[in-house]
Structure 1
Amino acid sequence: MIIYSGSKADFMNEVVEDTIAYSIRDNIQEKMHRKTGEAEFRSWVNSLEYMYKVLNDDGIPQNSGIAIEYNLPNTAKRVDFLVSGYDKERSANVVVIELKQWEKLNKVEGLDGLVETYTGGANRRVVHPSYQAWSYAQMIKDYNEYAQISDVRLWPCAYLHNYLRTHDDPLDDPIYKDYLDDAPAFAKGDVKKLREYIKNAVMEGDDSEILYEIDNGRIKPSKSLQDAIVGMLESNPEFNLIDDQKVVFERIMELSRLCEKDGRKRTLIAKGGPGTGKTVIAINLLARLTQEGVFAQYCSKNSAPRTVYARKLKGHRTKSSIDNMFKGSGAYVDAPNNIVGAILADEAHRLNEKSGLYGNQGINQIHEIIHAAKLSVFFIDESQRVTVKDIGSVNEIKHWAAANHSAVYEEELSSQFRCNGSDGYLAWLDNVLDIRETANFDIAEIDYDFKVFDSPQEMRQSIIEKNGHSNKSRILAGYCWDWPKSGRSDTNIHDIKIGDFEMSWNLSSDESFAISSTSINEAGCIHTTQGLEFEYVGVIIGNDLRYENHHLVTDYTKRAKTDQSIKGLKKMESADPERAHKLADEVIKNTYRTLMTRGMKGCYVYATDPGLRQYLKECAATTTHYALITLA
């Protein structure tokens, strides 16, 4: 969707008459039903004056196409400024310009394509403007059928009109070379250079025809994107499908083809416990559906699995449009009906009702996903709902599918590929945590390494030793220690303190906890590990779970003040204490169930409550001498 479009002549005239910002504001109200904030309005006034100076050259045709605020399909991202026309060979060209009002920035080493600058009222890590411009152009190239068929050449660049470049400027640091080569950055005083860049692409006007066709082009993955993701998948043997994973995969492919054929909505609910391969199926579907020309996206509430699996697909590539295929669960608030061919909602039990930073956007994330997709697939394990706001359930999905006139299908994943393939360990754990009563009162003969430690130091050292072989072991903890904003990026500041044992929560950075080689020195929480798997996990159980008077006791008041997963419980307790206690009990037990099932080969545990340590030892001690269960 283009918010403002016209010719260069139209744009220049509106800037002269001081009406351009008002036109954009009114168009946003009309097309997006959204009011414009004062800061955004001022940014248009400021930046578009600079673009007037850039375009004030007779070498740029008066009938060149101009578009402002082009909303990329099914994203919240908008391209600031586009100029279209033909080159000397009459090939279609579009210059993609990312406008920035920044005055300074700092480079960020160790993380790909990020800088730090003052924006939104604070210093923040954001993507390098050249990366941003490149990624927007790449998305148009990857998903716009008109751009593919007509071989439209895209010229991305960034214009930081308030930024005074210096010698050895961080904007131009060699770590950003790959992005600067494809999307040059122009700064204060570079008006003539940016003009020449535009003039190289646009020598003849097109009366906005190219931009009109792009705006109305069908969304379809390009052949190059199809080939790229299939090649990436084939180089990752961990994504191979086994047993009932293959059955569910083929069923979903069958439904997708039906949706593409008859246009009817369909919803599939894939139920499965930890390690049944839900994410493996989702990633395979993402690749195969894309290969078949279906606009498919993987979405999850937590960013951790999106980051990890996108990076696993990309391998060592720094530049890849794969990132555009991974979305947050709130990405579909304003999405039109059936705009996406297939949405693969992983960790669907974690979906929320509302979206947005303040939880005030949209109606219901399940509804929005089903509304936006021809085929919606929900991978779910109701025993992994771990916050008060988690609404993902089979019944909730069925309710919204009916509201959207979508047929519903269900599949069950039973084959266990985590915990050494042991369904018995999961059943035993459910029994031990009093989640559900099972026949598994012990873990005899189960090929799984479960240990209970009497000190957190010994547990940590054992996990560090396991991690030394493959960097696939991690320490996790219940959210019972605050995670203050100050020091989130300093590994020397220890948030978790138990006697003389100290450890940092995982650092506030964009490098994934599951992949980073330094993460063994940090403790992950439910939010950075749910949906992921390791070889071994060491789990610290805090005082929110205790064993007293022969019963498990959950106590949400022992959770950290910074824990958003229990926000609202106090208010609920005053109105409906029975419901509040039941929900708190579910959240706490499900949290530890999830953490204690992240390890494929073993789980080592330290509990701060002595009674709980003794209880866990006794639960495991019924094991006969030949089992792999050992007690530290």
Structure 2
Amino acid sequence: MIQVATEAESPKGAPFIVDRCDFLAGGCIPLEYSSRDIERDKLENWPMVYILANDEEAYVGQTTSITRRMGQHGANPEKKDFTTVNIIFNREFNASVITDYEHRLIQYMHGDGRYRLANKNDGMTDTNYFSKSKYEEMFEDLWGDLRQCNLAEKTLEQIEESDVFKYSPYKGLNIDQQIALDEILTAIGTKESISQPLVVEGMPGTGKTVLAIYLLKRLKDDDTYKDFNIRLMEPATALRKTLRKALGTVSGLSAADVISPADLAKPKYGFRGKGKKGFDIVLVDESHLLKRRVNLGTQFGNFDKTCAALGLPQGSSQFQWILSQVRLPVFFYDPLQSIGPSGVIPKELEHDLGSALQNPIRLESQMRVKGGKRFLVYIEGILSGRSPEPQAFAGYDLVFHEGFRGFVDAFEKDLRRSSLTRMVAGFAWPWMTKPGRRLKPGETHVDHDIEIEGIKLRWNRVQENWVGLGMEAPDAAREVGCIHSIQGYDLSCAYVIIGRDIRFDSGSGRLVADKANYFDKNGKNTATQEELDAFVRNVYYVLLTRGICGTHIYVIDSGLRRYLSRFFPSIGA
């Protein structure tokens, strides 16, 4: 009887060998290479990963025959500028592992910034395989070896907390995202048969921005779309600047690929005149933040100028700007993240999008919050007044603080562990420390905006890239972020202060907004009480779903604190 193993053998953690030799015209591996640490027969037939490099650029690949693959690359004119090939060997490699490692190396080397990567991003998926968790641990050892070989500079932890990594077009797509990608690519068709608007809908953390960025590079790299004018639109100023900086380093992309709604009227981006659609495909991220002509503060003039340039009536919304200028807009949308009266109203979307909004492409899998989709549904249920049964979320640090001193102490502890930990709050305090704010007669300068139990804090000094600033400036990391500085960003751990802008109404059993204690003027002017209730609840929905590893909560109002405490595990002062 032939004995057959009933279980595959897990990897034991064999050491990596990283060998470097010249990358020659013709792609031959030098004969003297046989004296190195990798046996010659393994060069002919063994799964490996490799890095082609010169002083500035690199290309990552995987193969089951390094000699044959180098011959192919040597015959490719696109690879002629590379000078070295760095071969990565491990006796425990298999086909699944090298595919995973190829994708990991592309992601982390791009985030590291030592090289500009020549890779495209088609085929980047997040797939499972046998003993993947063990190979993930082994990858940390490989990365250490690459740093010793000067092929990388930063630690994995440093890279993972960078904007370049978080907003990378080299992310592996999950099944939901891959299905959505296929639907979008099918809908695009040819330039002559381009389809109708599309809507991609998903809760926070389902990867809407990741998919939009991935799709931008995928389309830009594909010669089929070389004559298309393709852009990524980011309505939020702070996130737009972050994406321009992050994507400006990506091969095949530039900062100019990321536009604002007003850029639709600028010839340098593709505007061809009134009534002409100069944009073929625009991927509209955070489309719930598109604005209409309501509560714009100092921006009414610029808004009206753009309407006029596009040949649209003065009251047209940014959503209508897009429909007038773009042949195929793809809207990445979450209705629960609309936070003020200036946002495009659902009725307008329903009128112009019809079936696209009624039958959106849905993203369901949770990529951000370790509490999973169940946590987001739980938070939404609490805020909407449905009073769900109390739940626990294993592996997710969810804490309700009875005392503010304990809240701040826990924050400091987490901040030391992760520089992406931040305090955030609803707009329940006026911005007294706002740069350039004029003092009223008799008013004296103050150095804080918020005081709770004798602890003084100030609002975020800037809205643009406040999260990133805190990684370099300790004072900024200890500020309190408002909704406008945090929407669209991820945090390692979110410390949420719920102010007096929201309270529990025992009569109706619902959470309602307190207009007198809500200090976002553009967020409340012209809003009815019912609308304001929804906006403020949405603000806290966004704040409470930023934390990847955990969410800590402190509530100012005693009545609301009593109500909410039954939903969350509490700790004392």
TM-score range, shorter chain: 0.5 to 0.7
Query: What residue in structure 2 maps to residue 255 of structure 1?
Result: 187
Amino acid at match of 2:412: I
Query: What residue in structure 2 maps to residue 13 of structure 1?
Result: none
Query: What residue in structure 1 maps to residue 157 of structure 2?
Result: none
Distance 2:215 2:451 in 1: 43
Amino acid at match of 2:380: D
Q: Is 1:414 paired with 2:382?
A: no
CA RMSD of aligned residues (A): 3.5
| Count, aligned residues | 381
Distance 2:117 2:415 in 1: 35
Equivalent pair of 1:229/1:313 in contact (CA under 8 Å): no
Using a 3 Å threshold, how does the CA distance of structure 1 residues 509 and 346 change in structure 2: closer, same or farther?
Answer: closer
Using a 3 Å threshold, how does the CA distance of structure 1 residues 406 and 277 change in structure 2: closer, same or farther?
Answer: closer
Among candidates 323, 335, 338, match of residue 255 of structure 2: 323
Secondary structure of the corresponding residue to residue 447 of structure 2: coil
Q: Is 1:286 paired with 2:216?
A: yes
Equivalent pair of 1:230/1:287 in contact (CA under 8 Å): yes
Distance 2:170 2:409 in 1: 28
Query: What residue in structure 2 maps to residue 431 of structure 1?
Result: 381
Query: What residue in structure 2 maps to residue 542 of structure 1?
Result: 499
Query: What residue in structure 2 maps to residue 565 of structure 1?
Result: 523
Amino acid at match of 1:426: L
1:239-290: CA deviation from partner (whole Å, max 9, x where unpaired): 321120111122222323x14242x452110111111110000111111122
Query: What residue in structure 2 maps to residue 15 of structure 1?
Result: none
Among candidates 452, 462, 468, match of residue 498 of structure 1: 452
Equivalent pair of 1:384/1:590 in contact (CA under 8 Å): yes
Equivalent pair of 2:396/2:549 in contact (CA under 8 Å): yes
Post-superposition offset of 1:338: 2.5
Distance 2:209 2:345 in 1: 16
Amino acid at match of 1:567: N
Equivalent pair of 1:449/1:630 in contact (CA under 8 Å): no
Give the alignment's TM-score, normalised by structure 1.
0.54
Among candidates 331, 342, 352, match of residue 281 of structure 2: 342
Equivalent pair of 1:346/1:380 in contact (CA under 8 Å): yes
1:495-552: CA deviation from partner (whole Å, max 9, x where unpaired): 2222412111111375443453233211111111111111110011110112353734
Query: What residue in structure 2 maps to residue 308 of structure 1?
Result: 242
Distance 1:338 1:467 in 2: 48
Unaligned runs of 5+ in 1: 1-224, 570-579, 622-628
Secondary structure of the corresponding residue to residue 485 of structure 2: helix
Equivalent pair of 1:506/1:524 in contact (CA under 8 Å): yes
Among candidates 459, 462, 468, match of residue 508 of structure 1: 462
Post-superposition offset of 1:461: 2.7
Post-superposition offset of 1:353: 1.8
Equivalent pair of 1:229/1:322 in contact (CA under 8 Å): no
Q: Quick check: which one's strand share is greater?
A: 1
Using a 3 Å threshold, how does the CA distance of structure 1 residues 494 and 309 change in structure 2: closer, same or farther?
Answer: same
Using a 3 Å threshold, how does the CA distance of structure 1 residues 390 and 498 change in structure 2: closer, same or farther?
Answer: same
Distance 2:118 2:289 in 1: 32
Using a 3 Å threshold, how does the CA distance of structure 1 residues 230 and 425 change in structure 2: closer, same or farther?
Answer: closer
Equivalent pair of 1:535/1:602 in contact (CA under 8 Å): yes
Using a 3 Å threshold, how does the CA distance of structure 1 residues 392 and 310 change in structure 2: closer, same or farther?
Answer: farther
Post-superposition offset of 1:561: 4.0
Unaligned runs of 5+ in 2: 1-115, 123-163, 308-315, 438-444
Distance 2:282 2:526 in 1: 30
Using a 3 Å threshold, how does the CA distance of structure 1 residues 486 and 631 change in structure 2: closer, same or farther?
Answer: closer
Equivalent pair of 1:483/1:562 in contact (CA under 8 Å): no
Among candidates 332, 335, 357, match of residue 299 of structure 2: 357
Equivalent pair of 1:299/1:346 in contact (CA under 8 Å): yes
Post-superposition offset of 1:230: 6.2
Using a 3 Å threshold, how does the CA distance of structure 1 residues 452 and 267 change in structure 2: closer, same or farther?
Answer: same
Among candidates 343, 354, 357, match of residue 390 of structure 1: 343
Amino acid at match of 1:455: G
Correspondence list, 1:172-187, <5 A: none
Distance 1:239 1:546 in 2: 40
Amino acid at match of 1:501: I
Among candidates 523, 531, 536, match of residue 480 of structure 2: 523
Among candidates 266, 269, 277, match of residue 207 of structure 2: 277
Using a 3 Å threshold, how does the CA distance of structure 1 residues 480 and 371 change in structure 2: closer, same or farther?
Answer: same
1:356-400: CA deviation from partner (whole Å, max 9, x where unpaired): 81154521211211221121011111111110121253x533422
Post-superposition offset of 1:471: 1.4
Distance 2:470 2:449 in 1: 20
Using a 3 Å threshold, how does the CA distance of structure 1 residues 374 and 424 change in structure 2: closer, same or farther?
Answer: same
Distance 2:365 2:357 in 1: 26
Post-superposition offset of 1:237: 8.1
Among candidates 141, 150, 175, match of residue 243 of structure 1: 175
Bigger mean CA offset, 530-539 vs 515-524: 515-524
Secondary structure of the corresponding residue to residue 479 of structure 1: coil
Give the alignment's TM-score, normalised by structure 2.
0.60
Equivalent pair of 1:495/1:503 in contact (CA under 8 Å): yes
Distance 2:185 2:469 in 1: 30
Correspondence list, 1:455-466, <5 A: 455-466=403-414
Secondary structure of the corresponding residue to residue 535 of structure 1: strand
Post-superposition offset of 1:493: 2.3
Query: What residue in structure 2 maps to residue 454 of structure 1?
Result: 402
Amino acid at match of 1:454: E
Amino acid at match of 1:313: L
Query: What residue in structure 2 maps to residue 147 of structure 1?
Result: none
Equivalent pair of 1:226/1:290 in contact (CA under 8 Å): no
Post-superposition offset of 1:554: 2.1
Equivalent pair of 2:167/2:213 in contact (CA under 8 Å): no
Seq. identity, %: 23
Using a 3 Å threshold, how does the CA distance of structure 1 residues 350 and 342 change in structure 2: closer, same or farther?
Answer: same
Q: Is 1:332 paired with 2:274?
A: no
Distance 1:391 1:547 in 2: 28
Using a 3 Å threshold, how does the CA distance of structure 1 residues 237 and 369 change in structure 2: closer, same or farther?
Answer: closer
Equivalent pair of 1:545/1:552 in contact (CA under 8 Å): no
Secondary structure of the corresponding residue to residue 251 of structure 1: helix
Amino acid at match of 1:254: T
Amino acid at match of 2:207: G
Distance 2:446 2:280 in 1: 47
Distance 1:388 1:234 in 2: 30
Equivalent pair of 2:238/2:463 in contact (CA under 8 Å): no
Post-superposition offset of 1:447: 3.5
Distance 1:244 1:610 in 2: 42
Post-superposition offset of 1:328: 2.1
Post-superposition offset of 1:460: 2.6
